[in-house]
């Protein structure tokens, strides 16, 4: 499977380079006349400067219209309480960050109430998928390649898996990770409860306990524990869950109706979900286009020293690729990269 690629070269007109890329890759061949086309993207948490630049998305919207489609921007609400927790705040954030080139339809509704259960494969048996994703006729998945605290890396697979699922689906994927508190180390200081966005840990008889089904295994309590008493178990499971969720989401589309564009610029340590994504840890790479999320992500990882992601997260980010292939998502772990 071929992934088409243009390097990030500021000496070139990158918008024109992107146009050549889309033509070679057949990015918009998935669109038929009057298709309702979801442009799945991440608009960036408010305050985060590292996300796909809006003028590239303007251009994608224009190309969809030229192909006869009816485009809309979309993403699902967050599980955690930030600036994209409900549809109103999510839309406001999208507008603040410059995404005003098409209607923004929050995929899972006003308060994450719009979803359906879809059967899938792998570590999950089923996954909740956001309603607007299911109802779309075609989809262009526009992803920003960057690091991630839990999965090592976020690209097209993660954009599908987390971004196309409501709060329940996000929690389901995160909960494949186990959490343990070493009671021999814990002093019951309560720092974990203070820093937890939901104040979930309980201090019982001088020790911290977290048995809440709402714990999404974010790394905050673990990183803030002064005695390093909190650890994750089977952290690599989230990589498998991302692949499993992505499979279920793609099952809601007819074959050949989804295309992928990965932007590898401003590659930060942490993801676009944070207002402070950390420092850029790699040089800008370029833009990738193909018809497989596996191949799109694998092409990027082959272009960089992805071991840096692994070291920062303590998980092998290539697990997303291998698991996706194992459960039947088409693609290639070592795709041909055609520079144009």
SS3 33: coil
pLDDT digits (tens, 9 = 90+) for 71-85: 999 999 999 888 999
Q: Name the token pair of 332.
A: 């290639």
- pLDDT at position 217, please? 95
> Structure pTM?
0.96
Are 199 and 193 contacting, i.e. CB atoms less than 8 angstroms apart? yes
Tabulate helix, strand, coil % of the chain (nearest 5): 30, 20, 45
**Positive or negative CA dihedral for 290, 291, 293, 299?**
negative
Computed over its alpha carbons, how large is the radius of gyration of the chain?
20
pLDDT at 100 over 90: yes
Cα 208 to chain center, whole Å? 31
Place of tokens 């803030």: 224
Pairwise CA distance, residues 170 & 78, whole Å: 8
- pLDDT at position 25, please? 98
- pLDDT at position 273, please? 81
- pLDDT at position 283, please? 96
Place of tokens 């790394």: 219
Mean pLDDT of the chain: 96
- pLDDT at position 205, please? 95
- pLDDT at position 138, please? 98
Q: Name the token pair of 169.
A: 């689906």
Pairwise CA distance, residues 76 & 174, whole Å: 16
Could you tell me what percent of the chain has a pLDDT over 90?
Answer: 93
Place of tokens 């650890």: 231
Q: What is the mean pLDDT of residues 151-165?
A: 97
SS3 116: strand
pLDDT digits (tens, 9 = 90+) for 269-287: 888 887 888 888 999 999 9
pLDDT at 314 over 90: yes
pLDDT digits (tens, 9 = 90+) for 242-274: 999 999 999 999 999 999 999 999 999 888 887
């Amino acid at each position: 499977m071929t992934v088409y690629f243009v390097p990030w070269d500021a000496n070139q007109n990158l918008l024109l380079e992107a146009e050549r890329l889309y033509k070679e890759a057949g990015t918009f061949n998935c669109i038929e006349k009057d298709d309702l086309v979801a442009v799945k993207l991440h608009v960036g948490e408010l305050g985060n400067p590292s996300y796909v630049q809006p003028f590239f998305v303007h251009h994608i919207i224009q190309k969809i219209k030229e192909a006869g489609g009816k485009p809309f921007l979309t993403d699902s609400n967050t599980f955690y309480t930030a600036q994209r927790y409900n549809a109103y705040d999510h839309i406001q954030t999208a507008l603040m960050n410059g995404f005003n080139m098409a209607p923004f339809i929050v995929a899972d509704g006003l308060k994450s109430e719009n979803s359906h259960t879809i059967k899938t494969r792998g570590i999950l048996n089923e996954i909740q998928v956001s309603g607007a994703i299911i109802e779309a006729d075609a989809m262009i998945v526009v992803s920003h390649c960057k690091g991630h605290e839990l999965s090592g890396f976020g690209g097209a697979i993660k954009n599908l898996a987390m971004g196309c699922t409501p709060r329940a689906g996000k929690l389901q994927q995160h909960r494949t990770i186990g959490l343990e508190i070493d009671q021999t180390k814990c002093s019951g200081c309560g720092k974990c409860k203070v820093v937890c966005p939901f104040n979930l840990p309980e201090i019982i008889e001088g020790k911290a306990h977290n048995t809440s089904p709402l714990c999404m295994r974010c790394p905050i309590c673990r990183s803030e524990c002064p005695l390093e008493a909190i650890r994750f178990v089977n952290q690599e499971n989230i990589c498998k869950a991302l692949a499993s969720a992505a499979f279920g989401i793609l099952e809601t589309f007819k074959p050949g109706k989804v295309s992928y564009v990965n932007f590898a610029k401003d590659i930060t340590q942490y993801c676009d979900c944070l207002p402070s994504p950390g420092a850029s840890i790699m040089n800008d790479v370029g833009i990738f286009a193909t018809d497989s999320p596996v191949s799109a992500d694998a092409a990027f990882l082959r272009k960089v020293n992805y071991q840096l992601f692994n070291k920062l997260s303590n998980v092998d980010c290539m697990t997303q690729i291998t698991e996706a292939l194992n459960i039947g998502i088409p693609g290639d772990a070592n795709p041909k990269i055609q520079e144009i």
